[in-house]
Structures are given as C-alpha cells and as structure tokens.
Structure 1
Amino acid sequence: MIINTELEYKGDLFPSTITSYTKEVDSIDFFTDNNVIMRVTVLRDSMIRFRFTAKGYFSNDFSYAIDKSQSHGYNVLELNEFEDHYKIQTSKVYVIVQKQSARVGIYELDGTPIVEDELGFHWEESYEFGGNIVKMSKMSPEGESFYGLGDKATHLNLKGKRLENWATDQYAFHKDQEPLYKVVPFYIGLRNTKAYGIFFDNTFRSFFDFSHERKGVTSFWADGGEMNYYFIYGPKMSDVVTTYTHLTGKPELPPLWTLGYHQCKWSYYPEAKVKEITSKFRELQIPCDAIYLDIDYMEGFRCFTWSKEYFPEPKRMVQELAKDGFKTVVIIDPGIKIDNDYWVYKEALEKDYFCKRADGPYMKGKVWPGECNFPDYTNPEVREWWAGLFKELIAEIGVKGVWNDMNEPAVMEVPTKTFPLDVRHNYDGNNCSHRKAHNIYGTQMARATYEGVKRFAFPKRPFIITRSAYSGAQRYTSSWTGDNVATWEHLWIANVQMQRMSISGMGFTGSDIGGFAEQPSAELFARWIQLGVFHPFCRTHSSGHHGDQEPWSFGEEVIEITRKFVELRYQLLPYLYTMFWHYINDGIPMLKPLVYFDQEDPQTHYRTDEFLFGNQIFVCPILEPNAQGRRLYLPQGNWYNYWTQELVRGKRELWVSTDFDQIPIFIKEGAIIPKYPVQQYVGQIESPELRLEVYFKLGKEKSYVYEDAQDGYDYTKGRYSYKTFSLNGKENELFITQHQEGSFETPYQTITIQVIGLPFEVKGIEIDNEKILFDKEAINVAEGIVIDKDFTELHIIGV
C-alpha cells in the first residue's frame, strides 16, 4: 500500500522527503523537509538503534532501562547513497532507508528481508497533552510468530494479540487480562525460523499489536515521548535474548539461600505464629530457607516500624529464626502514612521528598496505612535517603531480604488504581509528569531499596523482590507475578508467565505457589509445588483469607509430595546456581520455552506447557485435575525419563503416564547433573558433597558446575570454581574429563559419580591413566563411585 506522505492518514502525520544527512562516528542523522530527524546508531553489527523526532531536535537522551556498563562495538559500518535510497551496512545486516518516506527495511546480507516498515514512523498530535502519540508499523508476513513482553497472562505466542503496557495492580487477574504489573516493551519476532528482536524503550503507556487490528501488520505506539527502538538481529532466538539481556543488564549473583524454598502469607503474626510455622517445617523435614512478614509486622502499616504488640523484640526473633536456618524477609511499600509523629514521614516532609501534583500540593492517596504521601524515587537524592532508611532493618535487626509491593504505584479507592497523571517527577533531572514516570516508578523504588539493602548487608549479598518492574529492573531485583488466583487456569498462566519473563531478560521470577486469592484444592497445591520448584524464585504465598496454605494444610499425601519435590529442588541447587551463573555472565535465560530450544522445528512455535529448566532438564507440568499422565512434545534429541531412566527419542509428541507424586521430567542424554545432599536449609551442611548423575550418550556432551562461597563478593575476585565436564561415550567405553577455572577451593574432597544408561558391563576403571583395582561386587557405577574431586579424566572400560 503506497501512501502519499504529504497527506494525512487518519489524521496521522508522516516524515516527508529526506533532504540531507550527517554522519558521526557510529550515528547517521537523516533530515526531512518537514522537520523530522531520524537517527540511526549502530551499537553492534547485530544491534541498531532508531530514534525519531518530529520537532527538529532531540530531547535529552536518557533511559533507566539501558545498562550503562555494557560495552558496544561493531566491525563494519558503511553508508552509501543511491538515487532513491540510502544503504547502511554492518557485518551482519544492511538497512535500506527510502528517501521519499524515510521508511526502513532491514535485510540479511543475502537480501532476505528480516523486517520492513509498512507505514513506518508516523505520529498524531495530542493537543490534550501537548505532545505526540508516536507510532510505528511494520509488515508481518503470514506464519510469523511473536514472543516476549514480560508478564502477559496469555498464550506464549503473541500472534493475533493486542497488548497494553501500563503497570497496574490487577488483583485476581484472569487469563488474557490487560494490562498487568510489569512493563517489558521487548518482543522477539520469528520469521521463516529466523529471529529478530525489537525493544521499544519508551516509558509512556504503550501498545503492541501483532496483526490483531490489521492482518499482515505489526505495530507499536506510545502516548508520548520518543519513537526510540532497538533492532536486534538473531538469527537465533538465543542471540536476540542474550543481546537484549546485555543491553538492559543482568543482576549480580544472588546468595544461594534465595534459591531455596520460601514460605509467605498475608500475614504471619504475632511472633508465636511465625515460630509455629518455622518449627513445623523443621519437624516435618520439608526444607525451607525464608519466612516472610507481610504488612501486619508494622505499627499501623508504617514502613520501617515494628508492631510492639506482635513483635516486641524483632532483633531477638530474627536471630532465633536465623539459628534455625530461617532468613527473615519483610515487606516495604511506597505509601508513607501522613502522621506528624512518624519519623519517616517527618524526614521526607522536611526534605521535600514526596511527589507533588502539578499545581503544588503533595500527591495524597489511600493505601494500607490510610492517607499517604509517596516518595519520588526518580529523584537520586530521594533514592539515597530511602537507601539509608534500611540501616536498622538490615544492619541492626538482621533482616535478610526486602519485598517491595504496591509499587505500580497502587492507590486504593480511585478508578485508575494509581496516581493522577499530572503528578510531577524529577526523573533524574529530566522533569516530567506521571504519564512518563508511572511505568518506571516501581523499578526506581526497587533500585533504591537494593542500594540500601546492599549497603547494610555487606559483605553479604542483598535480596530484593518487586511486584512492578520496567525493562532493566532485573539489575536490582527479583520479582513475582502478583496477586494470582488458586485455580487451574492460573497454574497454566504461571507456567507461561515464567517462560515469558525468562526470555524477556527478567530471569529471577516466580509465582505465588498455590495461588494468592482463594483456596486451592490439595491436588492443585501439589501440582503447583511440582511446577514451582522448577521456577527460579520459589515461594508459596496466599492471602490466607480462605484457609491456610502451608504444605501440611492439605493432608499427609500432599506433605509427602511437597517434601519430595522441595528436596529435589535442594538437591538441584548446584544445577540452579550454575544456570544463574550463565544468566548473569552470558545473558542466557534460565527457563527456555521449546521454541527457544529449537526454533527450526515449527512444532515448537505454539507450545506453551513444556520448557527447559537450564540446558538439560525438560519439564512438563500437569495442568488439569485427575490426570493419569499427559500428552507432551519432546523436542529434538534423546531424553531419559527421570523417573524410569528409560531413553526416549525426541522431536515427537507422546503420552507420558505419571502418578500423582510425579510430573513428566526428562534429562538430555549426555547430561551430567550436579546434586547436593538434601539440606533443611542452605548452609545446614557445611561442605555438601557433589554428586554427579551422568546420563550416558553415544557421542559428546558438555556440562558445567559453578560453585563459590554461596554468599559474599569473593566470586567477583576470581574466588569461584567453574567446572566443565566433557562426556564422550563410545560403544564400550565412557570418558569423562574435568576442567576447572577459578581459584575457589570447594570444601569437599571427593565426588560421587553415578552413571545412568550404561550400555555395557564394566570391566575396568582408570582415573588419570591409572588403573583402579576393580572389584565388581564392591564397585557399582550405576549406584555411584567415589573419586577424588580433582580428577582430570575418568575412563570406564566395558567388556
């Protein structure tokens, strides 16, 4: 469809003819007749940024999302001018810019289109707000698929959907409800099995339409701000996700205990109730590392206070819980109660740190404490002050983690559920209204909280969890998916949300296991635990208004199942910790949807249920009641059924029978899965010995194990141990070699190696070319052989 760009289209305005350009080092500015400037910046050969302004100049270039510590660089940048277009080329792609319309097409070097503008950049004057609604539309051929966008409660493949980004407190949200708590304006397109990404870094209310309104067109737009997006070329989905994750940043390594099981409820109080819960975990021997205190621990819901009635001696209680292996995590909300006798309120008032309305007075809203004012976390001075408030909680009382809630920001008793749009924000010196700051308010609160907890927890690592987040929040905080419901539909939603968050750069995420609102059946709770232990953040949380939601609330059978699966999670801690290491170093998502694992196989493009936990464990939850098993799609490769150890061929659909105390789990052949012994909490066993479960494969496979002191910052000085295990299986031989990097000395002396699926009878064993006295009766490789942890090569010889 050719449109005369001089004319308006449905009232929209378009760039006219490009008349000139200027080139800086890595940027080219194109100027049009009608004052539009398009700036094309090559950050990497595979990542190009596009910025547009319709006013003849660019505003200050500022973003909370971009990780400033990331280095960028490219190999090739050539610009050539032709009669009707410009051509910009890197070593991976080339860009065609049409002179007549400033429309853009991006192509592989052989000329294959990756993504091409339909109307391209256009805008609508918004006189109500005195700014522009900025729009972009691109052509989308049939068969193209879309993924990403953070916590959307809809099908993993976004084709045909229209989605909205406006952080919203959606209590008891349902499938397909829009918008939700988080804003991640990043999607991955998959076209002819080749992937690319678009990150639309604009914090205003924004929308994405994936061929919903118009067939064959994908568009995105925002209620203000700049048309500013990053194009990322794959062609592998993994490259797109990794590049985006590097662009918006990765967290530091969390302390190992945060990967344990956490128990939470609204609310555990008084102290006697907290102790009753923690003692019960130890009595039933269900491992647990963290206990959470919701808003009732405070004095009248005032942040940074303790209820004298419920928690008269918080420091003593926190110490006693710590002796029993429990770390205490407390909630902190943004609403500060208006109360002249309350020190936090008085300090903020004196320093003028609260958000104001456009005509001057402080923004006032109702939340749990009643009428509140709200700190402006977009002001660096306010963040610094807020960070300082954590001194008593963390340094003196000994709290180990902080949970930020209600930071969309949520306000009660108003239809919008949030601040009026005229509220003013500092925005790090780029003063603006709430229209622009709303979506990043929660992230800046989490950032300020992180800076405070980090300061006072040092030399230990901090732990923060947030409900609202914008792209880049993962640098400071973990998150959960908000107030879900105890229904089977929500079990499905949680599974999809976790996969989506993982490929949207926010790996450290979980859902409220069992559902927050309403009460799960025993069966639903058990199935949710079975899924939740395979999510990076693993926490049971409920509103508790319909009954209790501890594992023992559902009878003996569920206690057994919970124990079995939580124990499995604790055994897999070294595997999970290694996944985290790959995430923070290499930007590799911890959970991988099947389409990420094998984008070449069109069967994976619409799968929602199955995912990979790390690189080598395939998980498929049971998502409906009374199931005796389920159909699933096993991706390419050969896989061992974890429960039966049977080897199964992949790239096909199959029925897997399971009992109530199982879900389908498969291990990739050739994998070496590291395990620790079961502990009731991280650190209970001083030097947990490593056990390696080796799944035989004819051929080669690499596996990795990352270990360090489990907390603290020594790992940043090289004091870690990163082991690469290479497996090479032959018809009657198996070689396992070990290579270690890092200077951390693991506390155990030996490791146990167990081989599963060995196709031959063992005749002899050599360790580092030395024959070991081999006694068939005494040594059984299927049950495990104990060898020195520093071996270089293990050679198992068959008959």
Structure 2
Amino acid sequence: MIINTELENKGNLFPGKINSFSQDVDKIYFKTENGVILQVTVIRGSVIRFRYATDNNFENDFSYAISEDGVRGYSKLEVEEHDTCYKIITIKVIIQIDKESLKTSIYDIHGNVICKDDWGFHWEQSYEYGGNIVKMSKSAPQGECYYGLGDKPMHLNLKGKRIENWATDQYAFGKDQDPLYKSVPFYLGMYEERAYGIFFDNTFKTFFDFCHERRNVTSFWAHGGEMNYYFFYGPDMQEVITKYTDLTGKPELPPLWALGYHQCKWSYYPEAKVKEVTSKFRELRIPCDGIYLDIDYMDGFRCFTWNKEYFPDPKRMVAELAEDGFKTIVIIDPGIKIDDDYWVYNEAMENDYFCKRADGPYMRGKVWPGECFFPDFTNPKVRTWWAGLFKELIDEIGVKGVWNDMNEPAVMEVPGKTFPNDVRHNYDGNHCSHRKAHNIYGTQMARATYEGVKKYAYPKRPFIITRSAYSGAQRFTSSWTGDNIATWEHLWIANIQAQRMSMSGMSFTGSDIGGFAEHPTGELYARWIQLGVFHPFCRTHSSGDHGNQEPWTFGEEVIDVTRKYVELRYQLLPYLYTMFWEYAEFGIPMLKPLVLFDQHDPQTHYRTDEFVFGNQILVCPIQEPNAKGRRMYIPRGHWYNYWTREYVTGGLEKWVDADLDIIPIFIKEGAIIPKYPVQQYVGEKTIDELKLEVYFKLGEKEVSKVYEDAQDGYDYTKGRYSLRTFTFTGKENEVIIQQHVDGTFVTEYETMEFEIIGLPFEIKEVEIDNVDIDLKKVLSKTKPNTLIIPKNFTEIHIEG
C-alpha cells in the first residue's frame, strides 16, 4: 500500500494496489489489496459515475437526487489493460485508472487532460459517529475556474473559496456567509475553455475547497456516507449543466400565471387588508397574479387551519380574489403544534409519523406555533399522508399554490438552529440519522407538498415554492433565496444567487425583491424591481416589521418605475414561457452568466453583474445608489440597446446611461422577441395578435423560438402546443423570415405584427410564400418598418 507519511499522520487512509478487475455491462469494478472497490458506471458517453467502497462493502444504492427519467445509454464502451493502468474508453472521454494507487485521470478523445486526481480518494474513520469521512482531491491547473453550488452569496467564480453544504436558516445573511438554505453539491470546472462538472451525491454535511487550502488542489469531502460522484464532460459549459439537470431531473411547465408578478409580506391579514392590497394593484394598473398569506392566516400557526377571526370565509375570499385575477398562495411549515385538539397532530400521532430521537422520544422543537413535532418526510407513508392534507386547501377552498418555509428544518432557540444529529429518519427504508437526512429534509417536504397540490389542483398544474433544497428539488418546486436584507450589497447578492442557481440546475428562482429584513429606499426598491422582473421567479416580500413594502409606499416615481417594469415582464411572458419550455424540455438554464453565454471569451470568466435572460436579452442591473449609468461588458457579437435602439459592437466595456427608470438591456442582433399586450393578470385579455420585435442582422442566420400552449393544464404533454421556430436572414437589400410550426395547439390570434428594428433600407416589396403582396395590405400605417402578417406563413421575403 502506498501511503504519504505526512497524510498518514493525519489519519488518512488510501487505496492499495489493484488486484482484480471485472465488468458487468456498464459497470466496471476495480478491487484493491486493502479492500477498496472502485465502481465506474458509464451512464452516457460523457456522464460517468465513480463510487468507492472501503472494507469490500458498498452501501445500498439509493438516491433522492437522481431522476428515473434521465437519459441512459452509450454508443461505445471499451476497457483496455496496460502495464501501469486500465483505460475505459467512451465516445467522449478516456478514463485512466492507475494500478498502483487507484487514482483516476480523465482525458478528452484528443488526449487533453480534463480532470485528474491529486491525492485522489482517501478517507479516515469517524471515531465520534462511526463510518468514514470520505475525501477526494483533484489537481487544479493554474487558471482553472469554478462555478455552481447553489445559493452561495459570493463571487460567481469560486476560485479560492471553501464551501460548506448544511441547509441552514440564516436570517439576514451577509455576503460570503456560508452555509445557507440550500445544499447543491454540484460544481463546474473550466480550464482552457473546456468545461466539466462534478456532482457529489452525498447528503451528509459536505465541503468543497477550490484551491483555498492548497493552491493547485480542489477537494471535496463528506462527514459520512460514500464517496459517490458523477462526472460530466462538455466541453461546452451549457452541455454540462443540461446533462446534470437531465440526471437530477427537469421540472414540468408551471402555469403561466406563476411567471407573473407576486406580492407577499409577513403578513397580510385580516381579509380586509388582503383586499386593500389587491385592490390597490388594480387601481394603480400594476399587473399582479399572486397574493401570499403568511403564517398569520392560520389558527395559532397550526398548519392546514384558518384563523376565522381574520378570515371568516376563506373559500369566498379566495374565489373573490380569483375573480379579480389573483391566485392565492399560502405558507405551510413543517412544525406541527403539539395539541391534543388539533386534528393534524392527532393523525400523525396515531400513525407514528413524527421524527424521533435515537433513544425513543419524539423530536421536539420550538417554531412559530410553540412546541412542535415534525413529520418524517423521508418516510413514503408520511409523504402520502401529507399530500392528502391539501385536499381542503386546494380542492375545496381554491388555493392555487403552496409556499414551504422553515424546512431546513429550522428550530428556534437552539444553538444549531435545527434538529440534533441523533434524530432518526426512515429514508425510504434506508434508516439513518439526521446527519444524513438533514440536507434533503426540505426537498422531501416540497416533494410531498407537490404531490398533494398536483393531485388536488388537477387538471391544472401545481405551483410550489421552497426555501430549502437539495439537488433534484427542481423536479417539484421553485425556490427563493431566503431572508435577505434591504441593502445595495444584497441587490448584488440577489443577482449572483439567481445566476448561480440557474447554473446549478434550479432556474426557477428569485429573491425577495426590496429585501426581507429592514426597509429599502425608494431608489433601492426601484433598482431591485428592475432586476427582479428578469428573474424566473418574481416576488416582492418583506418582514413587515419595518413598515410596508408595496410599490406605492415609495411615492409616484417608484410607482411609475414599478409599473413600467412589471408591464415589461408581462409583455415578455411568451419569451419567458419559451425560456421555461427549453429548461423543462432540455435542461437549458434560464439565466446565463456571461461565462455560460460565451466561455471562449476570457473577459467573461470573472464577470458577475451582466447576464443573458433566455438566449437573446442581455441585462445589467444598476447596483449603486445615485447612479446615472454604469460601465458594463457587452459580450462578443453585435447588440441593440433596447431603449435607444443604438447598434453596438461587443467584446468591450461600455458606459451606458441609466437614469432611475432605466436598467441597461441589450438585444442580440437577429433576435425575434415575442410580446403579448400588457395584462393586469394572466388570462385577463384575449391575445388578438402576437407582436414580434425583429432586430436586423446582416449575414449569418439567427434562430428564435416561441412556445405557446393553453397556459395551464396537461394537454401540452399530448402534443397540444405550438412551437414556432423563426429563422432570420438579413442582406443589404433583403430580409428573409422563415417559420416552422410544431404541435397541434391553435393560438387565439390570427396575425402577427413584425416590427423590424435597424432595417437598413425602405420596404418596397413583400412576398409571402412566393406570392407578391400589396404593401397597403400588410404595412402598418402607424409604425415604421412594421408588417401585419397572417400567422401561418412559411416564408416572408422583404426587399428594398
């Protein structure tokens, strides 16, 4: 056995020489003389699983994170034995395993090193808990960059950082504070513009060190469980993310209203206050779809009850709100009040559904209702029971969405803010302590909630939001970034967190607009709403103890800014819905940091502020007070300033003017951006015409898509959708727009309005599907360079 003496002194153990090798279809096993087994599973040609056992023994192979629907299979798998190593060869990568040390090196098919072990797998025994602390270290070449890992409130590039994953209720967290609410043990590495990913599927407390302790080493380790990680090769960064998202699961489409604007506060009560807030939105003509009820709607904070003093007839209230276009979302926490007169408590006690301590008694902790017990959501029977509890809320009262909070799980007035380590969990038959179940507790609660809401909302789609999450939670729920603060620094943090969550497979995320703790200035709120409308989940939320945080509390100027940007979000709903369809169908991140948009441009590798919304809209928030503009980096290519329609060349920094009512927005040349008319809520208006803003591009083709369906329900899964693919080709005196339509859904509108921006010639001739058209019939009389075209064309020729 080869052992580094310095490491041995620290208690680390290492694999010995390989003494046997075997293969079982897609699984290749390497056993060492000291009882270590490496199982390499080829899932796809560029997705490889590495799993290590010590003492010749693997644990039961079970994961909450891995989706059953992910792609499996490969076109090539060869194993070669050489003098000093084994080689596993797929169509994308070559994995070399050293016979002396079990260290692995991964190369692309051209022989370039993608990722190689430094110390490789090693471990030490955990004398406190039993089992092993399992560790992995990789060589980190100079210049390698690292991204991902969920909601970390720090620079987008993690080089030089040490990270901890332990879901934690961090009220009013700060920049660089760690850990936070989520545990997403997936990161991307990129070196010489080749990207790879590693997902360390271990739910114990995990750590990642990106050249923090040792300059040329990246390492990750866990306080229990197995060394079990998945490797993804790009080389494009987006391919890495889509493969990871495919493995851990893609979401279903949300109802379109869930992509509208939401208003929340701790707390809106009584009913008269809720009606006052919703009426004010309609009076001021600020679109809004979601209104939230925080814990005060309950009877003594007991989940699945109503305070009849505040809300005497919730079914009537919810119905009246719905008539005005508002969908009601209610909070549900995991803590169940210990109360013999409380039906939920009694049902759980009768069925033994609460978590227990190691020596027998139920896990007792203080949360909002006072002393509580907590359901064990890792027990499938408990999840089924919990799902059934939503019948009254969803099916009878008409609530449209559920918000899971405090599910890290959070416990008040105890040093660790959560359950003790000795709490026991079912873990779907793999019984374990809270050390293993802690990081997935919130996800399993969200899963049970999702299953209940989905069952009782049917045939409509469910909407769930969670604070705590582990990898794979995106299958069930959206999320928000937790209890932030009304500061300019937190505006910067919110921007980073949303981008990082998108890179981590959880695109349907937003922040509490304006900040949860403390009170924003009107200027800060205005700048935050400008950013928030470009996040997939868009909600203002505040703690309420500092005053109100509705848009109208900041004065007329901020009302106008809020209206302008919320209206813009509603206009862009077909664009946003198409982004979500690409995310749900292919796992494509909805927000793209500049490094994800163009990893081959070294200028993007450390940018934090700018991001691409979808595929074609560049956004850069103003993040300082009293700013009249800012310097920002424009990615390579050519872009149009959305506000001025100025045509700019990318690949450089540029000063952009931005008074309080402006956030810098640029549109990629060649893009075709769909827009709906402004609505006060989704479904208020019939869409009589689809507006398409076309940004002229000379030369190479540009493809844009528009996905539409019934905006709710499941007919889209049976082919009842409309996917329009537009191809734009621009020449000096000619424009060609081609359209291909998939799906059987028939849209309400019959015509499309094409406004061509930056057109370098005057329109003299229009031909639709090889037929010359009288200009008077298609040319707008009020807008220059604008054509009204029947929706079902195949090709438009426009000539000057």
Question: Structure 1 length normalisation: TM-score?
Answer: 0.99
The separation in 2 between residues aligned to 1:648 and 1:7, in whole angstroms, is 56
The separation in 1 between residues aligned to 2:100 and 2:58, in whole angstroms, is 22
The separation in 2 between residues aligned to 1:790 and 1:128, in whole angstroms, is 69
What's the offset of the Cα at 1:517? 0.2
The separation in 1 between residues aligned to 2:779 and 2:90, in whole angstroms, is 63
Secondary structure at the aligned position of 2:115 is classed as strand
Q: Is the contact between residue 6 and residue 14 of structure 1 (CA under 8 Å) also seen in structure 2?
A: no
What's the offset of the Cα at 1:687? 3.1
What's the offset of the Cα at 1:3? 5.1
Aligned to 2:56: 56
**What does 1:202-601 correspond to in 2, within 5 Å?**
202-601=202-601
What's the offset of the Cα at 1:695? 0.4
The separation in 1 between residues aligned to 2:423 and 2:108, in whole angstroms, is 45
What's the offset of the Cα at 1:4? 4.3
The separation in 2 between residues aligned to 1:62 and 1:688, in whole angstroms, is 51
Pair 20,325 (structure 1): closer, same or farther in 2 beyond 3 Å: same
The separation in 2 between residues aligned to 1:529 and 1:171, in whole angstroms, is 22
The separation in 2 between residues aligned to 1:257 and 1:774, in whole angstroms, is 38
The separation in 1 between residues aligned to 2:102 and 2:625, in whole angstroms, is 55
Q: Is the contact between residue 691 and residue 753 of structure 1 (CA under 8 Å) also seen in structure 2?
A: yes
Aligned to 1:787: 789
Check if 1:760 corresponds to 2:749: no
**What does 1:567-646 correspond to in 2, within 5 Å?**
567-646=567-646
Aligned to 1:94: 94
The separation in 1 between residues aligned to 2:788 and 2:677, in whole angstroms, is 14
What's the offset of the Cα at 1:71? 2.8
Secondary structure at the aligned position of 1:762 is classed as coil
Pair 57,570 (structure 1): closer, same or farther in 2 beyond 3 Å: same
What's the offset of the Cα at 1:787? 1.5
- Where has structure 1 moved over 4 Å in runs of 4 or more? 2-7, 775-781
Q: Is the contact between residue 6 and residue 16 of structure 1 (CA under 8 Å) also seen in structure 2?
A: no
What's the offset of the Cα at 1:310? 0.1
Secondary structure at the aligned position of 2:689 is classed as coil
**What does 1:730-769 correspond to in 2, within 5 Å?**
730-769=731-770
Q: CA RMSD in A?
A: 1.2
Check if 1:132 corresponds to 2:132: yes
Q: Is the contact between residue 688 and residue 750 of structure 2 (CA under 8 Å) also seen in structure 1?
A: no
The separation in 1 between residues aligned to 2:226 and 2:435, in whole angstroms, is 13
The worse-fitting range, judged by mean Cα deviation, of 438-447 and 73-82 is 73-82
The separation in 2 between residues aligned to 1:612 and 1:408, in whole angstroms, is 31
What's the offset of the Cα at 1:686? 2.6
Secondary structure at the aligned position of 1:392 is classed as helix
Q: Is the contact between residue 756 and residue 782 of structure 1 (CA under 8 Å) also seen in structure 2?
A: no
Secondary structure at the aligned position of 1:661 is classed as coil
Q: Deviations over 1:111-138 (max 9, x none)?
A: 2111110000000100110110000000
The separation in 1 between residues aligned to 2:784 and 2:642, in whole angstroms, is 14
Look up the equivalent residue of 1:763 and give its one-letter code.
K
The separation in 1 between residues aligned to 2:538 and 2:206, in whole angstroms, is 31
Look up the equivalent residue of 2:795 and give its one-letter code.
E
What is the aligned residue count?
797
Look up the equivalent residue of 2:734 and give its one-letter code.
E
Look up the equivalent residue of 1:733 and give its one-letter code.
E
What's the offset of the Cα at 1:765? 1.3
What's the offset of the Cα at 1:769? 1.7
The separation in 2 between residues aligned to 1:780 and 1:787, in whole angstroms, is 15
What's the offset of the Cα at 1:768? 1.6
The separation in 1 between residues aligned to 2:688 and 2:134, in whole angstroms, is 56
The worse-fitting range, judged by mean Cα deviation, of 655-664 and 374-383 is 655-664
What's the offset of the Cα at 1:585? 0.6
What's the offset of the Cα at 1:785? 2.2
What's the offset of the Cα at 1:689? 2.4
Q: Deviations over 1:74-117 (max 9, x none)?
A: 11111111111111111111011111110011011222111110
Q: Is the contact between residue 676 and residue 687 of structure 2 (CA under 8 Å) also seen in structure 1?
A: no
Q: Is the contact between residue 763 and residue 785 of structure 2 (CA under 8 Å) also seen in structure 1?
A: no
Look up the equivalent residue of 1:490 and give its one-letter code.
H
The worse-fitting range, judged by mean Cα deviation, of 95-104 and 771-780 is 771-780
Aligned to 1:723: 724
Q: Deviations over 1:397-448 (max 9, x none)?
A: 0000000000000000001000010000000000000000000000000000
Look up the equivalent residue of 1:729 and give its one-letter code.
G
Check if 1:155 corresponds to 2:149: no
Look up the equivalent residue of 1:46 and give its one-letter code.
S
The separation in 2 between residues aligned to 1:22 and 1:7, in whole angstroms, is 30
Q: Is the contact between residue 5 and residue 14 of structure 1 (CA under 8 Å) also seen in structure 2?
A: no
Q: Deviations over 1:594-650 (max 9, x none)?
A: 000111111000000000000000000000001110001100110000000010000
Aligned to 2:19: 19
The separation in 1 between residues aligned to 2:532 and 2:316, in whole angstroms, is 32
Q: Is the contact between residue 377 and residue 444 of structure 2 (CA under 8 Å) also seen in structure 1?
A: yes
Q: Give ranges in structure 1 of 5+ residues lacking alignment.
A: none
The separation in 1 between residues aligned to 2:756 and 2:334, in whole angstroms, is 53
The separation in 2 between residues aligned to 1:592 and 1:397, in whole angstroms, is 39
Q: Is the contact between residue 3 and residue 13 of structure 2 (CA under 8 Å) also seen in structure 1?
A: no
Aligned to 1:796: 798
Secondary structure at the aligned position of 1:8 is classed as helix
The separation in 1 between residues aligned to 2:5 and 2:191, in whole angstroms, is 28
Pair 368,733 (structure 1): closer, same or farther in 2 beyond 3 Å: same
What's the offset of the Cα at 1:547? 1.1
The separation in 1 between residues aligned to 2:461 and 2:791, in whole angstroms, is 28
Q: Is the contact between residue 762 and residue 796 of structure 1 (CA under 8 Å) also seen in structure 2?
A: yes
Q: Is the contact between residue 254 and residue 462 of structure 1 (CA under 8 Å) also seen in structure 2?
A: yes
Percent of counterpart pairs with the same letter?
A: 74
The separation in 2 between residues aligned to 1:110 and 1:4, in whole angstroms, is 32
What's the offset of the Cα at 1:714? 0.2
The worse-fitting range, judged by mean Cα deviation, of 782-791 and 181-190 is 782-791
The separation in 2 between residues aligned to 1:387 and 1:539, in whole angstroms, is 25
Q: Is the contact between residue 755 and residue 781 of structure 1 (CA under 8 Å) also seen in structure 2?
A: no
The separation in 2 between residues aligned to 1:255 and 1:373, in whole angstroms, is 33
Pair 722,750 (structure 1): closer, same or farther in 2 beyond 3 Å: same
The separation in 1 between residues aligned to 2:597 and 2:6, in whole angstroms, is 46
Pair 15,151 (structure 1): closer, same or farther in 2 beyond 3 Å: same
Aligned to 2:647: 647
Q: Deviations over 1:661-692 (max 9, x none)?
A: 00110000000000000000000003352100
Q: Is the contact between residue 780 and residue 786 of structure 2 (CA under 8 Å) also seen in structure 1?
A: no
The worse-fitting range, judged by mean Cα deviation, of 183-192 and 105-114 is 105-114
Secondary structure at the aligned position of 1:640 is classed as strand
Secondary structure at the aligned position of 2:451 is classed as helix
Pair 673,23 (structure 1): closer, same or farther in 2 beyond 3 Å: same
Pair 312,114 (structure 1): closer, same or farther in 2 beyond 3 Å: same
The separation in 1 between residues aligned to 2:570 and 2:150, in whole angstroms, is 27
Q: Give ranges in structure 2 of 5+ residues lacking alignment.
A: none
What's the offset of the Cα at 1:570? 0.1
Q: Deviations over 1:354-394 (max 9, x none)?
A: 00000000000000000000000000000000000000000
The separation in 2 between residues aligned to 1:581 and 1:544, in whole angstroms, is 35
The separation in 1 between residues aligned to 2:779 and 2:192, in whole angstroms, is 56
Secondary structure at the aligned position of 2:250 is classed as coil
Q: Is the contact between residue 750 and residue 786 of structure 1 (CA under 8 Å) also seen in structure 2?
A: yes
What's the offset of the Cα at 1:749? 1.1
Question: Structure 2 length normalisation: TM-score?
Answer: 0.99
Look up the equivalent residue of 1:338 and give its one-letter code.
I
**What does 1:93-132 correspond to in 2, within 5 Å?**
93-132=93-132
The worse-fitting range, judged by mean Cα deviation, of 289-298 and 80-89 is 80-89
